[in-house]
Structure formats: structure tokens, C-alpha cells
Chain A
């Protein structure tokens, strides 16, 4: 099966993700896939939440924190500014407290708690995945291509989501119990039914958000997750490990794309020993890749002689990836 087949066979898989070790070409492939789909007439948003995002670099335009920017017809790109998102969110909470209680100023202990929260380790991941839910639920694009943060973060988030979920169930039932007490007290005191529990509603909201964000990554019908790897033994071994971990969290693995394959025909020419050795090394690794991942390897992309930057090189790369001429 080729990469094109995967897209044609599963048109419902609208959330596309490339994962893999750092520097193997996740952003490049995300951009190239967005280019290909846009050329096919689909409306595509490629977005990134990595603070070191490189979509700005690859499209040669500063798009950081500026919303959806049109790169070419049908192709939009976006870099989410996680830090300012967290700050906005904290400000929203402050305003809510002030308006709820008619305060002039946030009490000091509350303020210091709000401030300290941004330093907590899980804050950023949560904010990032929450941002993703916001982007995706709008649903105004045919495809969402998610330039993923490094694998560790994604796995960390998925495992966190599972823990939160169990935890939320527990406190929700505590909340329900409290509500029973409220009702009993109201009956005993012969008062009117108590007002709705705002906290309970918030808990339900949180539950839905966490569910939605982990579902984006684990929905087999809507999500396609591709691994990027290069023909090097260590990368292959690491990818296999990561794939197993992802499978454990039910991330739907759609296939593997091999990057930076050096043209074997070069061996016929008079080339330096260094290059010869690299080609031989790659041949070994490619065999290992085929043995390990078999038919799931969807595409082999050659090593380019220049960096992939700007729409022209992105097109060249997309043509290699999808084995198709794109005008």
C-alpha cells in the first residue's frame, strides 16, 4: 500500500499526525502532506503547538501566535502560542472570580495560587491539548494535520488523560454524594430545592474536554498516525518501541514513512568511501525496516540535496512522498 492509497481508502481519517524522534522530518512531512491535500482541493489546516515550532521556518513566514494563516489556496497554517494561551486562561479565571464575588482585587492567597499554577509541570501539556480541542472542534477544515510535539509529550498526555479520567469519576461521585446531602438538608429544613451545583457542571465540562482531546489521538475512524523514521538501526529500534507504547494507548497507527534514503544508483558512480559506507549501512537498515514493519511502510523519501524550505521544495518532496506529479 502506498501513502496515496491510505488517504484515498480512508477519507474519514481527517486528523493526520506524524510522530517520531526529533529532527527526522515530522514538520517537513506535515507540510508536504498539507500541500498534497490542498492541491487535491481539500481545505487543510496544518498546525503546531511546539514552542520551538518550525512551520514558520518551512513556510518562510512568521505565523507564530497569529491564528490561521493562508499559505496558498486551501492551505492554512497555524502555530499556537502555548504560553500566552496559559496567561489568557489565568486572566479569564481572575475575571471570573472578580465578577462572581464583586471583588476589587483577587485575595492574595488565591492570586499566588493562580500564579504558581503556570509553573506546574503538567500545565503546558494540558494547555496544549486543550488548545487542540478548540482548533479541531470548530470543524471548518477537511483535514487537520497535527505537527506533533515530541513523542514523549504525547504519551505523557495520553497516560495523564487516563489518570484524570479515573480521578474525575471519583470526585464526581463525591460531588454527587454532597448533592444528596444538600437535598436531604433542604427537605429536613423544609426549604426549596437547592440551586444547581456549578462545580458539578464544571467537572462534567472537564471530563468532556479531556475525553475529547484524548479521543482525537485515539479515534481509529478519524485519526491516522504515521511514524517517521530514517534508515538507521537505532532509529528503527526506537520507533518499534514507541509504536508498541502508542498501540498500548490505542493510537491508530496508519503506517511508516522512511525519510532520507540515499539513492542506491550512486554506487555505480565514482563516489567517496564515506558515501559508499552510508549507502551500505542504509541498505542494512532498510532491510531491517522491511522485516520489522513489512507492508506498513508506505513511502520511501530520498535524501534531498538542499533543506526543505518554501513551497517549491515542499512540492518536490510531496511528489516523492505521494509518487505523483503535482502542478
Chain B
């Protein structure tokens, strides 16, 4: 994704490109960051609901949650780390 961004930057380049990136940085970057953060919290909430029994919280019947498993494999490790952290994970929202 970063590469793609770079390419796009190169393509637009020049003075206009610079100002466009500058305004993005000033105005929307913070918002986008916040949205990404919320989005990842939701992702973790979703995995908790579907794969809860990995942490001993069974919620969805396993027959169907297995179908979802392949799609969340890459997130499992960060999710577990976050869920099992001693700190209350809600803290990180503020």
C-alpha cells in the first residue's frame, strides 16, 4: 500500500501534489488515524465474538466459526496480545 502511495505521489508530484499532501496532513490525517484505530478495535471485538473460545469465552458455535477462522489468522496474535494485556483495553481508546 505504501508503495502505491509513493507511486501516486510521484505521479501527481510538483507543487500541486505538495499542497495536496500538505492539506491532507493538516486536515484529515488525524481523522484518518482515529478512524483506523476505531476500525481495528472493531476488528478485535469481532474476533472476540467469533473466536472467543480461544480465550475460554465460547460464543459462536464452533462449526461455523471455523469457516471464519482462515480470514482472521493474521490478526490472531495481535488480538490475543491485546485482549490478554493486564491493562484494560478500553484505556487505549482514550
* Residues of chain A whose beta carbon lies under 8 Å from any beta carbon of chain B: 89-90, 93, 96-97, 100-101, 107, 109-110, 113-114, 116-118, 120, 122-123, 126-127, 130, 160, 164, 167, 171, 174-175, 177-178, 181-182, 184-185, 188-191, 198-199, 202-203, 205-206, 209-210
Contact = CB atoms under 8 A, between A and B. Distances in A.
A123 B71 contact: no
Contact of B67 (A110, A184, A206): A206
B51 A126 contact: no
Contacts of B62: 117-118, 120, 122-123, 126
Secondary structure type dominating chain B contacts = helix
B22 to A, nearest CB: 14
B36 A185 contact: yes
B89 interface: no
Given A126-B61, A185-B35, A205 B67 contact: yes
19 contacts: A90-B66, A101-B73, A109-B80, A113-B51, A113-B54, A117-B53, A122-B61, A130-B63, A167-B60, A174-B49, A178-B46, A184-B35, A188-B32, A189-B24, A189-B28, A198-B71, A199-B46, A199-B72, A209-B64
Interface in B15-55: 24, 28, 31-32, 35-36, 38-39, 42-43, 45-46, 49-51, 53-54
Nearest to A101: B73
B68 interface: yes
Query: Chain B interface: which size bin?
Result: 35 or more
Contact of B69 (A97, A178, A185, A188): A97
B71 to A, nearest CB: 5
Contact of B43 (A110, A117, A178, A191): A178
Contact of A164 (B58, B61, B69): B61
Nearest to A117: B62
A97 B63 contact: no
Contacts of B83: none
